[in-house]
Amino acid sequence: MLNPQLTKDGRLRHLLTLDGLPKAILTEILDIAAPFSEVAEREVKKLPLLRGKSVFNVFFENSTRTRTTFEIAAKRLSADVINLNVSTSSTSKGETLLDTVDNLCAMGADMFVMRHASSGAPYLLAQHLRATGRDHISVVNAGDGRHAHPTQGLLDMYTIRHYKQDFTKLTVAIVGDVLHSRVARSEIAALTTLGVPEVRVIAPKTLLPTDVERMGVRVFHDMKEGLKGVDVVMMLRLQNERMSGALLPSSGEYFKFYGLTEEKLALAAKDAIVLHPGPMNRGVEIDSAVADGVNAVILPQVTFGIAVRMAVMSMLAAG
């Protein structure tokens, strides 16, 4: 069956998820992002690759970091960027998602960057574009429900490769609210595809999906045991807005057992790096001494995120 994200000749048409994407495509995105990371150091931070193209940022969920970095990435590629304010758009008046999309297509959209609370919404959009003969318009998933956040997964892979080079020699631990995290799913898919021999997830049982081992990970409920010897620690935000019921006793109790402190980090490899997709909850998921420490690469993640999103957009435009 043809991957809906790829053209018939195997090029990238949409970016909806990292699950199922070939290793060659993931590596190509990371390779293309490398020179784009140097653009930020130039006096003129512009390239003409998307000149004349219209990129619509359609965010049905709140976002600052992701929407802003997509906007910066598109503008650095010389695209015309339109940010749709969903709270004041026609969808708040009862218009359906696909009717909204049809109207934006009539305005000359070349690419949609979509974030939505419902898993699968970007897939629905991509299917609709194909069914209506507009599959030349690309869709980038900027996060859909609990399902996926592919560009966050890619920028994390870029960050890991930047500091560690070889994926095949690493042990990676993902810590926190895996159950509600679309970032975790994208990271696990990318890490396993790129050849990381051991991916660990560390969390209380209430914050892990059923049969999480089927994703190719080792499960730990004891953070100190799970962090032993790891090369990369990927912290996750507690997704309080997606939780229903009492999954945790308190944030203080969570920090005691699953918050990353200097003491716990000392169990990892000496040169281990610490990532966090943001926004961070200091004193809940991570201690300030770690977040601001020498092992943290959290701010470089944000910088690399622009380059990775430039790479994705340029590949989609070329495809």
Is there a binding annotation on residue 224? no
Is there a binding annotation on residue 182? yes
Is there a binding annotation on residue 165? no
275 pairs with which residues across the strands?
A: 234
What CA–CA distance (Å, rounded) separates 176 from 187? 13
In this structure, are residues 129 and 97 in contact, taking their beta carbons and an 8 Å threshold?
no
What CA–CA distance (Å, rounded) separates 252 from 165? 36
Is there a binding annotation on residue 93? yes
Contacting residues for 166 by C-beta, under 8 A, at least 6 apart: none
Radius of gyration of the chain (CA): 19
What CA–CA distance (Å, rounded) separates 75 from 309? 11
Nearest in space to 48 (alpha carbons), one of 317, 306, 309, 319: 317
What CA–CA distance (Å, rounded) separates 202 from 293? 21
281: phi then psi, degrees, rounded to nearest 5: -105, 95
CA distances for 235 relative to 30, 178, 187, 278, angstroms: 22, 10, 11, 9
Is there a binding annotation on residue 66? yes
Is there a binding annotation on residue 276? no
Is there a binding annotation on residue 149? yes
CA distances for 265 relative to 51, 157, 172, angstroms: 46, 20, 13
Is there a binding annotation on residue 237? yes
The strand ranges marked E within 183-257 are: 198-202, 218-220, 232-235
In this structure, are residues 277 and 306 in contact, taking their beta carbons and an 8 Å threshold?
no
Nearest in space to 219 (alpha carbons), one of 166, 168, 179, 163: 179
Nearest in space to 203 (alpha carbons), one of 254, 164, 240: 254
Please give the single-letter amino acid code of residue 150: P
> Residues marked as binding?
65-66, 93, 115, 149, 152, 182, 237, 278-279
Binding-site positions for carbamoyl phosphate read 65-66, 115, 149, 152, 278-279
List the binding residues for L-aspartate: 93, 182, 237
